[in-house]
Amino acid sequence: TEIAPGAVHLPDWLDRGRQRELLAACREWARPPAGLRTVHTPGGGTMTARQVCLGLHWYPYGYARTAVDGDGAPVKPMPPWLAELGRTAVTDAYGRPPDEAYDIALVNFYDGDSRMGMHRDSDEKSAAPVVSLSLGDSCLFRFGNSASRGRPYQDVELRSGDLFVFGGPSRLAYHGVPKVLSGTAPAELGLTGRLNITLRVGGLLP
Ligand code: MD3
Ligand code: FE
């Protein structure tokens, strides 16, 4: 379903087997070097979701080739199968493939107390849609507008296996995760907490 122009939600897009495979891959990526780390915000705060990056390392000032707010190691590569998953996701959501190849993945690990405040993702130089995949606990996802952090916004529940694609007029909309719904993960997955994988196209970077 399209919740706003260019914002398409495909619930239960990944079957349980694919969810397990993606979770296993995320657990490998989380290991050092350049593994899971805490993101420090410019104001001296810390993000409550921990993160691991593939392809390029995101930090609050942009992208880097090394884990600048982690151990400084070179960022892990973007696997071709994950880039292909992004291409398939956009094709399923929009009925046509994206123009560019996915080359960045950001994986966010949420526990029951993690949140993500309302923000826009504007560090990519490409206008390609962002692909979001959710695993584990459900969350309340807040999708707003492109002008401000405030209303109007829509609250949508994201569950394990859901796909969301954000492109076109929705690409620069404010969004956040006000709440994780603890204990809602499918038991077979063996995950406490929530994982979100976003696939992005970096575009021309210096
Ligand atoms: C709308 N992640 O990684 S997923 C992020 O669940 C991020 O971890 C949240 O916001 C999470 O930046 C929300 C949904 C999402 C992701 C990227 C977007 C919505 C988006 C980019 C542009 C517009
Ligand atoms: Fe975001």
Interatomic CA distance for residues 200 and 117, integer angstroms = 20
Residue 102 counted as domain residue: yes
Cα pseudo-dihedral 48, 26, 131, 90, rounded to 10: -170
Interatomic CA distance for residues 155 and 176, integer angstroms = 10
Per the DSSP assignment, residues forming a β-bridge with 59 are 62
* CA 86–ligand 1 middle distance (angstroms): 14
Residue 109 counted as domain residue: yes
Ligand 1 pocket check for 177: Cβ under 6 Å: yes
Ligand 1 pocket check for 173: Cβ under 6 Å: yes
Ligand 1 pocket check for 156: Cβ under 6 Å: no
- pLDDT per position in the chain (206 positions), as tens? 999 999 999 999 999 999 999 999 999 999 999 999 999 999 999 999 999 999 999 999 999 999 999 999 999 999 999 999 999 999 999 999 999 999 999 999 999 999 999 999 999 999 999 999 999 999 999 999 999 999 999 999 999 999 999 999 999 999 999 999 999 999 999 999 999 999 999 997 54
Residue 23 counted as domain residue: yes
Residue 206 counted as domain residue: no
Residue 148 counted as domain residue: yes
In which order are the strands placed within the sheet that holds 130-136?
2-4, 7-10, 163-166, 130-136, 194-200, 104-110, 50-54
Residue 173 counted as domain residue: yes
Interatomic CA distance for residues 165 and 84, integer angstroms = 15
Which of 54, 166, 175 should be mutated for ligand 1, with most atoms under 8 A from CB?
A: 175
Q: Take atom 11 of ligand 1 and give the residue whose Cα is closest.
A: 196
Residue 205 counted as domain residue: no
What CATH number should be reported for the domain holding residue 91? 2.60.120.590
Q: Which atom of ligand 1 is nearest to the CA of 110?
A: 8
Phi/psi region, residue 190 (left: phi>0; alpha: psi -120 to 50; beta: rest), is left
Residue 47 counted as domain residue: yes
Total structural domains in the chain? 1
Residue range of the domain that includes 79: 2-200
Which of 47, 54, 108 should be mutated for ligand 1, with most atoms under 8 A from CB?
A: 108
* CA 28–ligand 1 middle distance (angstroms): 22
